[in-house]
Amino acid sequence: MTIDYAIITTGGKQYRVREGDTVSVETLDGEIGSDFIFDRVLMTSISGKLTIGAPAVKGAKVVGQIAEHGKADKVIALRYKNKTRQRVKRGHRQPFTSITIKSISLK
C-alpha cells in the first residue's frame, strides 16, 4: 500500500501534503468552504510513481478546501538596554489560513 503525497509551495514555503491533511499556510484569499487549487507542485508520488518537476510538475494540481482563517499565538519581541531605562516590548500575531487537502492529481 502506497500513500500518495505531493510537495507544494505557497507563501514562500514548501509543504508535504496528503489527502485528508490539514495544513496552516500564509493567508490566502477566499471564503471558508471554497476550494483552492495549488498548481505549483514541486513533486508528486502517486501509486508509488515519483515525479519530480523542474522546477514544477506539469499538469499536477492539489485541490484543498479552506477550513478557517485565523491568527497564530502571540510572539513577544523585547528589546532592552541596561542602565538606561530603555525597553521596547512588541507583540505580533501572524495571520494564517487552514486548508484541508481534498485531492492530488496528475494529468
Say if residues 101 and 17 touch (Cβ distance below 8 Å). Answer: yes
Question: Which pLDDT value is given to residue 1?
Answer: 66
List of the chain residues with pLDDT < 70: 1
Considering the entire predicted model, what is its pTM? 0.85
Question: Which pLDDT value is given to residue 107?
Answer: 85
Strand order in the sheet with 60-71: 22-26, 95-106, 60-71, 35-38
Question: Which pLDDT value is given to residue 2?
Answer: 79
Question: Which pLDDT value is given to residue 7?
Answer: 97
Domain boundaries, the chain: 5-106
Record the cell numbers describing residue 21, joined without a space: 491533511
